[in-house]
Amino acid sequence: MKYSFKIFRFDPSHDRTPHYRDYEVEADPKDRILDCLNKIRWEQDPSLAFRWSCGHGVCGSDALKINGVCTLACQKLMRDYEGSSFLLEPIPVLPVLKDLVVSMEPFFRVYRSLKPYLINPQEPPTVERIQMPEERKLIEDVIKCISCACCTSSCPVKTTENMNFVGPAALVKAHRYICDSRDTSTIDRLKSLDTKVGVWGCKTYFKCTEVCPRSIKVTKAINQIKRKIRNKSDD
């Protein structure tokens, strides 16, 4: 079956403004969007730039905006969409380096600012820090995050209302340590998020949850952080 693709193109080395280029690809309905991108680059236009690594929805590097929705090119099949026409664009919010490739540095700058690592000044035990199954369950959902930035790039607050908002991906990572029984910095973590650009920047649009390729309940995790902050204030 023949499919048509309209792809965002921009090469800062010689383009003043972005433009779109049309391609046609012969593909099977069971092929992935990523397969078609590879066909275009291998058979038609080797200058087309896009990222991918594992190709199985684990690395998160091939996030794109497909027909207006942020997702992973390796997870979407041709048959997942109605019709045979596709619009491929880079994910919003982040600066475009070339074509479908964006700079992830602003995304990870925010991520690093929230100290995404275990903080525990106590003397390390001779074995691993024990965590009970019920404690592990509190972070079971959010640890699935692969930092693809689909949620942050889909967030209406981040894209149209407040660019300084840390975004849902950062809050998911923060939740992972706030709710980790082995971490001792919960109060400081909550304090750092108790701002208009922190957890209160979230307006509960649920777009983050809708687009998450790992089916993480992102909005639920953010609301749990809000609840912890409120409970701390009531103490």
Q: Is the dihedral of CA 61, 65, 69, 74 positive or negative?
A: negative
Mean pLDDT of 73-97: 97
pLDDT tens for 9-23 read 999 988 999 999 999
Angle, helix 168-178 to helix 186-193, in steps of 10 degrees: 160
Beta strand extents in the chain (DSSP E only): 2-9, 19-26, 63-66, 69-72, 85-89, 96-98, 101-102
What's the pTM?
0.93
Q: What is the rounded average pLDDT for all residues in the chain?
A: 96
2-102 CATH: 3.10.20.30
pLDDT of 50 over the 70 cut: yes
Q: Are strands 2-9 and 85-89 parallel, antiparallel or unpaired?
A: parallel
The answer for residues whose C-beta is within 8 angstroms of residue 199's C-beta and 6 or more apart is: 171, 193, 222, 225, 226, 229
State whether residue 235 is helix, strand or coil: coil
pLDDT of 92 over the 90 cut: yes
pLDDT band at 234 (very low <50, low <70, confident <90, very high): low
What does the pLDDT read at residue 235? 59
pLDDT tens for 183-225 read 999 999 999 999 999 999 999 999 999 999 999 999 999 999 9
Kindly report the CATH class assigned to 105-234: mainly alpha
**Residue 85, both tokens:** 């026409």
Lowest mean pLDDT among 38-52, 92-106, 114-128, 212-226: 114-128
d(CA 44, CA 29): 20
- Domain extents in the chain: 2-102, 105-234
What does the pLDDT read at residue 124? 87
